[in-house]
């Protein structure tokens, strides 16, 4: 495959201005993306790229039935500026186009679940930015409840105080810097076992997810309880040792010191509590895509998630 970008310089609103092409070895267009000045987008896939044998043409875009011209030939016309680009640049644009079309008609939800330190938050931030969606780290809501109890020196098993704190959680005011303390995470995992506390927080999380254009939510029960109808469900995991090593690196990167064995023990204890509780335990939804990042760098995990999401979006846009 080869990839090309063409800038068509004109003032015609009905025509696209930025065009991206994936050209197969037979020199015919395999995929085409067309971006318009008003922000709209169309795309085409030569069949049977996804499933079925017909071409997919969305938003008035089609693949040309003629071979792709030479760059020199395109550039000989001064209203065009064409260049060969890397596959990764095309894929990013492709992904953006699919999501943009989907968001025009649906509130788009990406649910990310997984154990502590698996990289859910890191991935959620990248995906929300890429697909232009709102972002909610639901762990912060449980942390906010735990933090309120700790601040008032209340025991973590005071369920009615935890319910009151849960009602007071304001999603717009979650302070990551304060709530990311290790003690808040450990305590959050304890208050998260109470069904009444969960119901109050889940209601707020669902309202957040429903707000257009949609959201990426990460937590423990997003795909199973909070958003069971999410468009995409990812279960992000990594071995406990890898997660502990990442946590240690994170602490050391800001000048702190910690003990690997203690971090590992913490992580395993948290896994046991989050996976073993009776209400909404951490587990992959039946229709979740598993992403084990133990051997994946952050960028690789993002690209793998993007490939999963784009495959689903291409099929949904087609339907
Ligand atoms: N694929 C990866 N490769 C290497 N490091 C990673 C990867 N993903 C995340 N990290 C790092 O691991 C640490 C934990 O990541 P992150 O906070 O995203 O995990 P999390 O699953 O959201 O954790 P928690 O549930 O406790 O909030 C961070 O320092 C992050 O930079
Ligand atoms: N959807 C969620 C999110 C979080 N929790 C609980 C369990 C976690 O151990 C704790 C802290 O989460 P983190 O910030 O580490 O992601 O909160 C939950 O039960 N459900």
| pLDDT at residue 57 in the model | 87
Q: Which residue's CA is the closest to the ligand 1 atom numbered 4?
A: 297
Coil, strand or helix: which one is 18? strand
Residue 225 has pLDDT above 90, yes or no: yes
Percent of the chain with pLDDT over 70: 97
Res. 126 pLDDT band, cuts 50 70 90: very high
Classify strands 41-45 and 56-58 as parallel, antiparallel or unpaired: antiparallel
Residue 308 has pLDDT above 90, yes or no: yes
| pLDDT at residue 101 in the model | 87
* pTM to 2 decimal places: 0.90
User: Is 32 part of any known ligand binding site?
Assistant: no
Mutate to test the pocket of ligand 2, among 190, 219, 280 (most ligand atoms within 8 A of CB): 219
| pLDDT at residue 23 in the model | 97
Residue 137 and residue 120: Cα distance in Å, rounded?
9
Per residue in 174-224, pLDDT (tens digit) is 999 999 998 999 999 999 999 999 999 999 999 999 999 999 999 999 999
User: Is 122 part of any known ligand binding site?
Assistant: yes
Residue 128 has which token pair? Answer: 């929300």
Angle, vertex CA 263, rays to CA 262 and CA 268, nearest 5? 100
ipTM: 0.98
Longest dimension (CA), the chain: 75
| pLDDT at residue 314 in the model | 84
- Mean of per-residue pLDDT scores for the chain: 94
Residue 98 and residue 110: Cα distance in Å, rounded?
14
All domains in the chain, ordered by first residue: 2-103 (no CATH), 107-133+213-257+280-319 (3.40.50.300), 138-210 (no CATH)
Residue 244 has pLDDT above 90, yes or no: yes
Q: Which residue has the higher pLDDT, 52 or 15?
A: 15
Residue 67 has which token pair? Answer: 């071979």
Least-confidence region, from 70-74, 99-103, 256-260: 99-103
Q: Find the length of the chain.
A: 319
Residue 79 and residue 273: Cα distance in Å, rounded?
63
Q: Which residue's CA is the closest to the ligand 1 atom numbered 23?
A: 117
Give residue 250 CA to ligand 1 midpoint distance, Å.
9
């Amino acid at each position: 495959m080869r990839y090309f970008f063409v800038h068509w310089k004109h003032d015609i609103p009905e025509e696209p201005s930025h065009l991206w092409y994936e050209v197969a070895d037979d020199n015919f267009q395999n995929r085409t993306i067309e971006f318009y000045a008003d922000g709209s987008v169309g795309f085409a896939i030569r069949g049977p790229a996804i499933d079925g044998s017909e071409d997919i043409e969305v938003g008035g875009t089609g693949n040309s039935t003629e071979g792709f011209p030479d760059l020199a030939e395109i550039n000989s016309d001064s209203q065009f500026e064409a260049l060969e680009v890397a596959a990764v640049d095309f894929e990013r644009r492709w992904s953006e186009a699919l999501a943009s079309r989907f968001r025009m008609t649906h509130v788009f939800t990406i649910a990310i679940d997984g154990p502590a330190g698996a990289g859910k938050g890191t991935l959620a931030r990248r995906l929300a930015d890429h697909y232009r969606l709102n972002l909610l780290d639901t762990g912060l809501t449980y942390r906010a409840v735990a933090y309120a109890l700790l601040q008032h020196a209340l025991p973590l098993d005071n369920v009615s105080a935890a319910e009151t704190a849960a009602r007071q959680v304001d999603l717009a005011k979650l302070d990551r810097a304060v709530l990311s303390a290790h003690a808040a995470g450990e305590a959050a995992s304890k208050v998260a076992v109470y069904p009444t506390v969960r119901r109050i927080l889940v209601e707020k999380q669902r309202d957040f997810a429903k707000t257009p254009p949609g959201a990426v939510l990460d937590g423990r029960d997003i795909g199973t309880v909070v958003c069971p109808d999410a468009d995409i469900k990812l279960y992000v995991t990594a071995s406990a040792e890898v997660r502990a090593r990442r946590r240690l690196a994170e602490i050391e990167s800001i000048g702190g010191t910690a003990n690997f064995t203690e971090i590992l023990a913490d992580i395993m204890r948290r896994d046991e509590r989050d996976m073993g509780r009776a209400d909404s335990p951490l587990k992959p939804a039946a229709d979740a895509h598993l992403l084990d990042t133990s051997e994946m760098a952050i960028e690789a995990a993002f690209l793998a998630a993007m490939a999963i999401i784009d495959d689903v979006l291409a099929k949904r846009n087609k339907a």
